[in-house]
Structure 1
Amino acid sequence: MMLHKQFASYDITTVINVAWHIPLESTKEAQFAFDRIPLEAALHGASAVSPDIHVITTSGNFSLITANGGQITETPPPLGYTLPEYLVCLDLLAGVNVLKDGLVEEYISNGGNASIVYPSSVYGSAPTRGSFWDFAIQQFITGKPHQGSQPFPPDFMTAWIHVEDLADCYIAIVRFGSKGGHYLAAPENLSVSQVSTLFAQAAQVEFLAPVFENKDKVIFDDSHTREVLQLQWKYKVADEVKGWVERIKELGTYFLE
């Protein structure tokens, strides 16, 4: 009831759901039990107040990748798809996103006003203590587990978006988005080893990156999203990585030796 009153009192027309339960649980089912709470609150709270309220939910680009690899767009994978071998390490993250997306798709099919945005790997000068990628890149460079996470496999392919470009994407979805829309924010196709090389250079740390081979031929293509939302990405990893490293040092989450 409190949520409904807040929507109405402030004339809210859009709700963005980005909540994740952290630290992660050991299974995707256990993780989903926590993650679905804020998601369902946003969906059902919005529908209870007005059919005009647009709920934007955040998924992940990992959940878009099918067993065949290849071109990745805004189209969700078919039910029962199999993760490619190099993504098995992220089965929990991808699996939870698929479960959450299923709730949103059901909400849309029942007349609810919602859409899904799939951000690629987010980097930049985070205002918080540190992001997932702040730690992931550093533990990949050292080759050692950090905070319970194993180093990424050499052939891990993703795309990257600066946090401010992602913010612009959310704003554009509010302005131009439509019910049932699917949007991919993925400006730069780079493997974790490629980004780690740039990161190590900016941090002046010696790092011999493993040879990268895009075995699944994964290429992220967000051209449709950019056209529909009238977006132009402003940032590039190579230009921003030095500031990213400096911000991590300021936050006290820098552990490279």
Structure 2
Amino acid sequence: MSKRPLVGVICCQRNPEDPIQAVAERYLKAAPFVGADFVLVPSMPDIMDAGSILSRLDGILLTGSPSNVAPNLYRSTDPGDGPFDPGRDGMAFRLIAESVEQDRPVLGICRGFQEIAVAYGATLRPDLAEAGREQVHHTEPGLPLDGMFALEHRVDLAFKGVLERVMGAPSITVNSAHFQGIRDLGDKLAVEATSADGVVEGIRPVSGERILAVQWHPEWRVADNPDSRELFAWFGLLLRGATMKEAADRVAEDARQAG
């Protein structure tokens, strides 16, 4: 019996009084669209060895989270708005570093996007939900998930970029549920997607690692969204050894044949 690829899904710490390592199930339900098995990776860097973990895995999924990346990690003196999760910070950055070292693909979503950005030298901004913006990127707090993910906007995909190849279109509509985003991209990341107000929504390293991140939530009702299904299928091909371009071209070809 052939084995499916194995993906490590990073956890977050919840309930500080009696800490729980947790992942929202909607991320795990993306597994069939990746064609892989998912296992949870506790965000406990003091007792978990990222290098040892990566040696057993084919890739990493860095999920969204209620918490924010600690500002000191991107050289900000602003204390920022929590909640924070230092265990998640520590584990995520070690997993990213080990993924580069061991050539394991990584897909980042929301907080995962921000972690990858910071790992490659970008800085973050906290103001993307403020009223009066051309595009508000998060609903008012307290809405149920259906209401929160109902906020949508267009993102333009970089010409001849990975995401444009995967989606087979110059732009797509995505949900938007993030307070933070990139302030200064730096010179180690390429832009893969941008919203109409100029906020970077998709990134990959210019150095060629098989790492890509999106600021939106493709895991939300993935079965109902062809663009999300194609993104996860693309990640699944990376897990099987494809390059970023090879995987993108394969997904695009499969979509053409199906259509």
Q: TM-score of the superposition, structure 2-length normalised?
A: 0.33
Structure showing the higher helix proportion among its residues: 1
Structure showing the higher strand proportion among its residues: 2
Question: Rg: which structure is higher?
Answer: 1
Q: TM-score of the superposition, structure 1-length normalised?
A: 0.33
